[in-house]
Amino acid sequence: MTDAKYFANTKKGEIFELKSELNSDKKEKRREAVKKVIASMTVGKDVSALFPDVVNCMQTDNLELKKLVYLYLMNYAKSQPDMAIMAVNTFVRDCEDPNPLIRALAVRTMGCIRVDKITEYLCEPLRKCLRDEDPYVRKTAAVCVAKLHDINAQLVEEQGFLDLLRDLLSDSNPMVVANAVAALSEINETSSTGSPLVEMNAQTINKLLTALNECTEWGQVFILDSLSNYNPKDEREAQSICERVTPRLAHANAAVVLSAVKVLMKFMEMMNMDSDFVNTLVKKLAPPLVTLLSSEAEVQYVALRNINLIVQKRPEILKHEMKVFFVKYNDPIYVKLEKLDIMIRLASQANIAQVLAELKEYATEVDVDFVRKAVRAIGRCAIKVEQSAERCVATLLDLIQTKVNYVVQEAIVVIKDIFRKYPNKYESIISTLCENLDTLDEPEARGSMIWIIGEYAERIDNADELLESFLEGFHDENSQVQLQLLTAIVKLFLKRPTETQELVQQVLSLATQDSDNPDLRDRGFIYWRLLSTDPAAAKEVVLAEKPLISEETDLLEPTLLDELICHIGSLASVYHKPPSAFVEGKTSIRKALPPRAGSTEENQGAIETQQPTVIPSADNLIGDLLSLDISAPQVTPSYVPPTASSNIDILGGGLDSLLGGVSDVPNNTTTPAPPVSTSGLLGDIFGIPSTNAFYTPPKQVWLPAIRGKGLEIMGTFTRRGGQIYMEMTFINKAMQAMMGFAIQFNKNSFGLSPAQPLTVQTPLHPNVSSDVSLQLNTVGPVQKMEPLTNLQVAVKNNVDVFYFSCIVPMHVLCTEDGAMDKRIFLATWKDIPSQNELQYTIENVALNVDTLSQKLQSNNIFTIAKRNVEGQDMLYQSLKLVNGIWVLAELKVQPGNPKITLSLKSRALEVCPSVYQMCEMILHN
Amino acid sequence: MSASAIYVLDLKGKVLISRNYRGDIDMNQIDKFMALMMEKEEEGVTSPILKHNEVTFMWIKYNNLYLVVTTKKNANSALVFVFLHKIVGVFCEYFKELEEESIRDNFVLIYELLDEFMDFGFPQTTDSKILQEYITQESHKMEIIPRPPPAITNAVSWRTEGIKYRKNEVFLDVIESVNLLANASGNVLRSEIVGSIRMRVYLTGMPELRLGLNDKVLFESTGRGKSKSVELEDVKFHQCVRLSRFENDRTISFIPPDGEFELMSYRLSTHVKPLIWIESVIERHAHSRVEYMIKAKSQFKRRSTANNVEIIIPVPHDADSPKFKTAIGNVKYAPETNSIVWSIKSFPGGKEYLMRAHFGLPSIVSEEVEGKPPISVKFEIPYFTTSGIQVRYLKIIEKSGYQALPWVRYITQNGDYQLRTN
């Protein structure tokens, strides 16, 4: 006999019939009737009209019937709140039933009836059940506290349920402890104050760790998840928790494993990186992570998304496990794509041959998305592992020969990046690329191809014809392609002016007169003016050397990564977004990794010279101006207050309209004192020498509006009158006014902290910006950051708290009394051992020694002595940082050679890379 | 945690049964699920996690059913998926098979189970043996109202007290699955062994068991480093094994559940010679025919024999008029999977067999691009483990002091065994 028969009855008048059956005096008939009601409910029919009749059946000693009636109540109580009261008495009575199954059932169901009037009746039975003699009832009651808290948080606090729940953490039964922990975590998460309502202490943690060995797999997950929210007081405590959590890595349940990984990853952060303990732990983490890839596809997917985070945070864990990420033919597509991502992250010189062979195999599969991603991956490998670039290019060429349309297009997009990374190396393949011109129909591929033609116009004989062919359908092109085409033709013109004049005029008029796209028009106008006023300057702008592109892409921002590590296993870790981005309502405190232990310890050994890599980000107008495409690094847009740029008049009034959106910015703000003297970006473009001034880097976007819920913050640092200032522009891009601004710094290497409160003009209305000049002092708490000049900032307003980090240019930290006495200099120079000397070269410095020295001097880097040795000019410099560290420098300049050599000596070697970067920045600006 | 509700849907997206655990999401939100999934599928971005406004759907597919969990919190997604797969297992044990019909036939029972599986979005009890003690199809026929078995909340939540057997016996199966991925030029890209120790336990009372393996770590720590031992790369244990004990001194000690279960699994990625090696020569003559020459070689010891070997070779979907020639076993064309299956009942070690196949191809080439599925192989080799793992002892101690006999079997079989073709 099956239950299917209960679904059969679907004729008219059913409700009426059921009603009479429910009121029958025969037990058996009533039970059958309730089943029919539930069957109707299951198929989605509204049977709420039967409420009183069903509730009448509640008083029964038949357990099955009771369960069904309870189920009915849960579903319909909300629609019949008044009648639901009828059920209260039975609930209260059932909570005292001699059978624990019924007591638990009653307390479980009561909590699910979200009717305010009922909740007050719930309190007494719940209190009893929390102290029930049977653990099955207690564990159910523990969860019920969370339910009640969800309906009426105030009531729970008033009635002292939180204390009762806390008592359950010491319960003798492990399942009760686990459910109590789950309920508490849930309650803490929704706490309105943002701070947990029930704090964990070392003692409770100890109890939890004991229960961890004994409770069910799910209970273990609850306990581990709540452990991950705990902040151990010191390294030792963290270590002892890790020791007791590590065995969980051998659990068969993947959720237990991932939650254990979360605890370990978080607490490891508190330990010394090189300690044996961390090393063993790192070794222990790899095998269970690999085993997760043998679980069900969906679990694999979650695991892979998390491994993606783990690989970014600690690449050493899985660096030898490349092979396990090889794609299997029958993997679901979402698993394939994630594996590919991780393969690229793990690619290194050691395994690149294998990776490439795999990627090539994947590129011939059938799934279009997967193939595209595989082709892109080959390009990423070329950029990441220099030694493999040649092989990657060969592979890409092979793929282009397949003539499969989307493969060719994807290949061209990545080849453009390879050209960027390794200029003047692989241009021989351009002719092959040009053969495929006609097949390109995707904007990105077309744009890339046009970029390549423009960039190498001097080597492609028929570049003009090729570009002209694109011009025919100019207005049908995607705006990205139009912009590229405009720039490419201007490049062509600058390289081969004689035969392409007509072409350039054509494109300029198409862009400026016939287009509705303001970006395109503006760019057209700028080029036009540049070309007509000063072709030499135009050359410098348009054909400027492009910054390098970085090796790694799609890296998560470090603070976000750290936050996500604290959410391993959860949806946040799958979305790669903080919970606040997708969970509605009040968001709890953002999680962050604990500060690293021993962070003040000196780092031994020389710090590697940092490559000037730039993290690519979205393109912006000025980036485009320099003909950088989408993956180009961000060239900071700088909005220079008009006072500072008296020499930009060459462009005449026309430029005002171009910069229209910019020049009105300072009007409605509490204008800060303009920086003493800045030579803005435009000045730079036109090569106007700008010496004798303290160099203030242009403002950068620190907090993009997307992350700031509409608040955009741009800023820079400067120094005037012996004080450090943080110059910021707050722009409200949201729909509502913002107010209540405040700022705070995290501990940082130089103890920077605000010397005054933040004064943003409030309320900050939508689309209004406010400039702020914040004076800083250096008496705040000190903690070494990586990189050294990293500063983590929190800005609060009425909307939320936002976090970003920025780099403090080193020279604002150089004090005015940094000129060392000559003799002391000499003695110190000799005194510092030679292993404390680092050498760098700075390229492209077209300054003579005097301007160079002057330029440095105005940035508090003082020339102590000058010498001329064998035609080389030697400059001896000194500087002093705000924390009293002295750095001595020797500059070797050869007249006529744009390369200069910089040797740095300091007792604190860590600062040298930053000092080098600073010198380079000053000299290049 | 924080699953808001669970749904079981049929292929069209109709709700067969559902349970609302938290009441924080409108139950009608599920109507969005099917459309959302189709949309993503069309975009080629299918994912087991879908999002519509603030609601996240996490789903798995089983037979012709979708099991979907909704949430609007930052739920523990690993937990949700493991949970979903686990409850599928419980349903299967209750109803033999989980399908549309078995849900309709047992909806009352399913409601009861859903009530025990989860509370307010927190998974509770998913052990089918324990559940079967107090949630049964016949519950309403019993006059005595069941009580919660103490095992639900005990430290030993997987075994009830008072189990009795006349004859106390334990069966141990050591099953090793070999995963292999080889590329078209015959290089092994990846090979690993996934082992599993399964037990069937018929023991009285609450017995304490201790299992001894030739575990390398254990041998080295106890000064027997010279004996033949196996290095287990990653070991996973059933709930019942005391993990901290294993972590301390590598002892595998436990009170087993009753009946059948997987005690542990392990993984080794040692490079072993592929047990069955396939060489294939495929000649495609476009528009006319395609010819296969398949050579199968057994590369294990002569005294072992592989049973029920099946070599599955993919063929183009528009191939026709198959012809086969082989000295051993038989070959079948399976058009429903676009493959030919060469089965060999018994394949002794150190042998080599050949099979030739011939297909006609239509003169008009279909526009559909076909992938290149790999050749896969199925086999079973009894009395043999690739890793060399051995059960040294299984000690059984129960307070009544009975003698029990352990039986051990070894078997090696294929896992994910794939050889790519040209």
- CATH number of the domain to which A799 belongs: 2.60.40.1150
Residue A141 CA to its chain's centroid (Å): 40
The reply to whether A411 falls in a domain is no
The reply to whether B116 falls in a domain is yes
- Return d(Cα B152, Cα A176) in angstroms, integer: 11
- Return d(Cα A662, Cα A645) in angstroms, integer: 14
Task: Report yes or no: B252 and B266 within 8 Å, Cβ to Cβ.
Answer: no
Minimum mean pLDDT range among A244-248, B15-19, B400-404: B400-404
Helix, strand or coil, per DSSP, at residue A725: strand
Residues of B in contact with A372 (CB under 8 A): none
Selected residue with higher pLDDT from A453 and A645 = A453
Note whether A64 contacts B189, CB cutoff 8 Å: no
Spell out the long-range contacts of B361-365 with Cβ–Cβ below 8 A and sequence spacing 24 or more: B361/B284, B361/B285, B361/B286, B361/B287, B361/B288, B361/B289, B361/B290, B361/B316, B361/B318, B361/B319, B361/B320, B362/B287, B362/B318, B362/B320, B363/B287, B363/B288, B364/B287, B365/B286, B365/B287
Same domain, B56 and B10: yes
Same domain, A903 and A779: no
Final residue belonging to a domain, choices A493, A524, A545: A545
pLDDT digits (tens, 9 = 90+) for B244-253: 899 888 999 9
pLDDT digits (tens, 9 = 90+) for A610-627: 433 333 333 333 334 444
Q: How far is B380 from chain A (nearest CA, A)?
A: 20
Same domain, B61 and B90: yes
Same domain, B76 and B124: yes
Residues A655-666 have a mean pLDDT of 39
B233 and chain A in contact, CB less than 8 A = yes
Rounded to whole angstroms, what are the CA distances from A670 to A771, A830, A919?
A: 7, 51, 33
Q: State the pairing for strand pair A862-869/A872-880.
A: antiparallel
Given pLDDT bands bounded at 50, 70 and 90, which one contains residue B213? very high
Please give the residue range of the domain that contains residue B281.
276-382
Same domain, A746 and A821: no
Residues of A in contact with B373 (CB under 8 A): 329
Residues B350-373 have a mean pLDDT of 86
The reply to whether A388 falls in a domain is no
Same domain, A757 and A905: no
Residues in contact with B80: Cβ distance below 8 Å, sequence separation at least 6, in sequence order: B3, B58, B69, B71
Please give the residue range of the domain that contains residue A162.
3-213+220-228
Residues of A in contact with B236 (CB under 8 A): 250-252, 288, 291
Three state DSSP letters for chain B? CCCCEEEEECCCCCEEEEEECCCCCCHHHHHHHHHHHHHHHHHCCCCCEEEECCEEEEEEEECCEEEEEEECCCCEHHHHHHHHHHHHHHHHHHHCCCCHHHHHHCHHHHHHHHHHHEECCEECCCCHHHHHHHCCCCHHHCCCCCCCCHHHCCCCCCCCCCCCCCCCEEEEEEEEEEEEEECCCCCEEEEEEEEEEEEEEECCCCCEEEEEECEHHHHHHCCCCCCCCECCCEEEECCCECHHHHHHHCCEEECCCCEEEEEEEEEECCCCCCCEEEEEEEEEECCCEEEEEEEEEECCCCCCEEEEEEEEEECCCCCEEEEEEECCCEEEEEHHHCEEEEEEEEEECCCEEEEEEEEECCCCCCCCCCCCCCEEEEEEEECCCCCCCCEEEEEEECCCCCCCEEEEEEEEEEEEEEECCC
10 Å Cβ neighbour count for B146?
14
- Return d(Cα A418, Cα A401) in angstroms, integer: 18
The reply to whether A367 falls in a domain is no
The reply to whether A704 falls in a domain is yes
The reply to whether A726 falls in a domain is yes
pLDDT at A605 over 50: no
Element (H, E) at A268: helix A254-268
Task: Report yes or no: A573 and A579 within 8 Å, Cβ to Cβ.
Answer: no
Count of structural domains within chain B: 3
The reply to whether A553 falls in a domain is no
- Return d(Cα B190, Cα B187) in angstroms, integer: 9
Same domain, B265 and B390: yes
Same domain, A819 and A775: no
- Return d(Cα A360, Cα A244) in angstroms, integer: 44
Summary mean pLDDT of chain A: 82
Final residue belonging to a domain, choices A200, A228, A256: A228
pLDDT at A638 over 60: no
Scanning B288-327 for CB atoms below 8 A from A yields none
Same domain, A33 and A174: yes
Same domain, B211 and B354: no
Sign of CA dihedral A847, A848, A851, A855: positive
Q: How far is A78 from chain B (nearest CA, A)?
A: 10
What's the distance, Cα to Cα, between the start and end of chain A in Å? 87
Same domain, A804 and A822: no
Same domain, B394 and B248: yes
Note whether B47 contacts A334, CB cutoff 8 Å: yes
Rounded to whole angstroms, what are the CA distances from B135 to A71, A325, A760, B131?
A: 16, 42, 65, 6
The reply to whether B31 falls in a domain is yes
Same domain, B216 and B114: no
Three state DSSP letters for A871-882? CEEEEEEEEEEC
Scanning B74-103 for CB atoms below 8 A from A yields 74-79, 81-85, 101
Residues A588-598 have a mean pLDDT of 69
Note whether B77 contacts A248, CB cutoff 8 Å: no
| CA angle, A604 then A605 then A606, to 5° | 130
Same domain, B15 and B60: yes
Note whether A329 contacts B373, CB cutoff 8 Å: yes
pLDDT at A716 over 70: yes
The reply to whether B397 falls in a domain is yes
Same domain, A770 and A906: no
The amino acid sitting at A361 is E
CATH value at residue A122: 1.25.10.10
For residue B197, the cross-strand partners are B174, B264
Token digits for B353? 């067999």
10 Å Cβ neighbour count for A221?
31
CATH value at residue B112: 3.30.450.60
Return the pLDDT at B117.
95
Given pLDDT bands bounded at 50, 70 and 90, which one contains residue B275? very high
Same domain, A473 and A521: yes
Nearest to B377 by CA among B282, B300, B312, B297: B312
The reply to whether B39 falls in a domain is yes
pLDDT digits (tens, 9 = 90+) for B159-176: 888 899 999 999 999 999
Same domain, B407 and B360: no
Nearest to A572 by CA among A267, A225, A295: A225
The reply to whether A770 falls in a domain is yes
- Return d(Cα B51, Cα B77) in angstroms, integer: 13
Scanning B247-266 for CB atoms below 8 A from A yields 247, 262, 264-265
Which ranges of A99-173 would DSSP assign to H, the alpha helix? Answer: 100-112, 116-130, 135-151, 153-158, 161-168
Task: Please name the residue that has the structure tokens 């705040």.
Answer: A780
Same domain, A791 and A835: no
Selected residue with higher pLDDT from A662 and A224 = A224
pLDDT digits (tens, 9 = 90+) for A485-509: 999 999 999 988 888 888 999 999 9
Task: Report yes or no: A165 and A145 within 8 Å, Cβ to Cβ.
Answer: yes
Final residue belonging to a domain, choices A545, A562, A580: A545
pLDDT digits (tens, 9 = 90+) for A719-754: 888 888 898 888 888 878 888 888 888 888 888 888
- Return d(Cα A691, Cα A853) in angstroms, integer: 10
Return the pLDDT at A11.
56
Same domain, A788 and A828: no
- Return d(Cα B215, Cα B219) in angstroms, integer: 6
Residues in contact with B103: Cβ distance below 8 Å, sequence separation at least 6, in sequence order: B8, B16, B17, B65, B110
Same domain, A824 and A872: yes
Same domain, B12 and B132: yes
Same domain, A796 and A817: no
- Return d(Cα A775, Cα A756) in angstroms, integer: 6
Same domain, B178 and B282: no
pTM, to two decimals? 0.74
Residue B87 CA to its chain's centroid (Å): 15
Residues in contact with A328: Cβ distance below 8 Å, sequence separation at least 6, in sequence order: B181, B416, B418
Nearest to A216 by CA among B79, B111, B196: B79
Residues B4-11 have a mean pLDDT of 95
pLDDT at A649 over 70: no
pLDDT digits (tens, 9 = 90+) for A74-114: 888 888 888 888 888 888 899 999 989 999 999 999 888 88
Q: Please state the φ and ψ torsions of residue A352, each to the nearest 5 degrees.
A: -65, -30
**If you measure CA to CA, which chain A residue comes closest to B148?**
A101
Scanning A503-562 for CB atoms below 8 A from B yields none
Count of structural domains within chain A: 4
Token digits for A869? 């040795």
Tell me the ipTM for this assembly. Answer: 0.89
Same domain, B98 and B21: yes
Selected residue with higher pLDDT from A640 and A566 = A566
- Return d(Cα B183, Cα B186) in angstroms, integer: 6
pLDDT at B129 over 50: yes
Scanning B135-174 for CB atoms below 8 A from A yields 139-140, 145-148, 152-155, 157
Nearest to A813 by CA among A899, A864, A881, A871: A881
Task: Please name the residue that has the structure tokens 């009648």.
Answer: A83
Given pLDDT bands bounded at 50, 70 and 90, which one contains residue A13? low
Task: Report yes or no: A264 and A245 within 8 Å, Cβ to Cβ.
Answer: yes
What's the distance, Cα to Cα, between the start and end of chain B in Å? 46
CATH value at residue B318: 2.60.40.1170
**If you measure CA to CA, which chain B residue comes closest to A330?**
B373
- Return d(Cα A230, Cα A728) in angstroms, integer: 36
Residues of A in contact with B148 (CB under 8 A): 100-101, 104, 134, 136
pLDDT digits (tens, 9 = 90+) for A194-228: 566 777 888 889 999 999 988 899 999 999 999 99
Minimum mean pLDDT range among A277-281, A746-750, B50-54: A746-750
